[in-house]
Chains A and B, each alone.
Chain A
Amino acid sequence: MELLRFSTAGSVDDGKSTLIGRLLYDSKSIFEDQMQAVKDASKRLGLGDEVNLALLTDGLRAEREQGITIDVAYRYFATPKRKFIIADTPGHIEYTRNMVTGASTADVAIILIDARNGIIEQSKRHSYIASLLQIPNVVVAINKMDLVGFSEDVFNTIKKEYEEISKILKLKNVIFIPISALNGDNVVDASTNIPWYKGETLLHLLETLPVRVDETKLPARFPVQYVIRPYSDEFHDYRGYAGRISGGSFKVGDAVTVLPSKTASKIVAIDEGNQSLEEAFTPQSVSIRLADNVDISRGDIIIKSDEHKPTVSANVSVMVCWLNHRPLNVGGKYIIRHATDETRAIIKEVHYKVNINTLENILDDKTVNVNDIAHITIKAMKPLKYDSYQENRITGSLVLIDENTFETVGAGMIVHDLEDESFAI
Chain B
Amino acid sequence: MSYKLTHLKELESESIFILREVAAQFEKPALLFSGGKDSIVMAYLAYKAFYPAAIPFPFVHIDTGHNFEETITYRDELVELLGASLIVGSVEESIKTGRAVEEKGYTASRNKLQTVTLLDTLEEHKFDAALGGARRDEEKARAKERFFSHRDEFGQWDPKNQRPELWNIFNGKKQLGEHFRVFPISNWTEMDVWQYILQENIPLPSLYYTHEREVFERDGVIYAALDAIPRKPTETVEVKQVRCRTIGDITCTGLTLSTANSLVDIIDEIASSRVTERGGRSDDKRSEAAMEDRKKAGYF
Contact = CB atoms under 8 A, between A and B. Distances in A.
A3 interface: yes
B190 to A, nearest CB: 10
Contacts, number: 179
Interface stretch (B9-17, B31-39, B228-236): B9-17
A1 B7 contact: yes
Contact of A401 (B16, B49, B50, B171): B171
Specify the main secondary structure of chain B where it touches its partner.
loop
Contacts of A82: 7
A99 B283 CA distance: 33
Given A1-B6, A273-B48, A285-B49, A101 B166 contact: yes
B2 to A, nearest CB: 10
B128 to A, nearest CB: 13
Contacts of B47: 273
Interface string B106-147: 000000000000000000000000000000110111111000
Specify the main secondary structure of chain A where it touches its partner.
mixed
A76 B144 contact: no
Contacts of B163: 407-408
A423 interface: no
Contacts of B288: 37, 40-41, 61, 64
Interface in A18-77: 31-34, 37, 40-41, 56-62, 64, 70-76
A335 B172 CA distance: 12
Contact of A244 (B3, B17, B173): B17
Contact of A100 (B12, B17, B164, B279): B164
Contact of A33 (B141, B191, B279): B279
A140 B40 CA distance: 42
A238 B163 CA distance: 37
Interface residues of A, number: 78
Q: How many of chain B's residues touch chain A, expressed as a range?
A: 35 or more
A406 B160 contact: no
B79 interface: no
A180 interface: no
Contact of A97 (B6, B164, B275): B164
A399 B50 contact: no
A157 to B, nearest CB: 35
Contacts of B49: 242, 285
Contacts of A285: 12-14, 16-17, 20, 49
B74 to A, nearest CB: 21
Interface string A384-425: 000000000110011101000011100100000000000000
B7 A76 contact: no
B160 A71 contact: yes
Contact of A230 (B3, B6, B54): B54
Which of A216, A397, A408, A411 has most chain B Cβ within 10 Å?
Answer: A408
B192 interface: yes
A6 B10 CA distance: 15
Which of B12, B136, B166 has most chain A Cβ within 10 Å?
Answer: B166
Contacts of B48: 272-274
B259 to A, nearest CB: 21
B187 interface: yes
B213 to A, nearest CB: 23
B187 A408 contact: no
A100 B143 CA distance: 17
B289 interface: yes
B98 interface: no
Contact of A2 (B6, B21, B186): B6
Contacts of A117: none
B137 A76 contact: yes
A232 interface: yes
8 contacts: A3-B11, A60-B144, A71-B160, A74-B144, A101-B166, A249-B3, A285-B49, A401-B171
Which 3 residue pairs are nearest across A and B when measured between Cβ atoms?
A59-B140, A216-B3, A273-B48
Given A59-B143, A59-B292, A411-B164, 18 more contacts: A3-B5, A3-B7, A3-B10, A31-B274, A33-B276, A62-B160, A76-B136, A216-B3, A230-B52, A235-B52, A242-B49, A242-B50, A244-B16, A281-B1, A285-B12, A394-B168, A406-B174, A408-B171
Interface of B: 1, 3-7, 9-14, 16-17, 20-21, 23-24, 47-54, 136-137, 139-144, 159-160, 162-169, 171, 173-175, 186-187, 189, 191-192, 273-276, 278-279, 288-289, 292
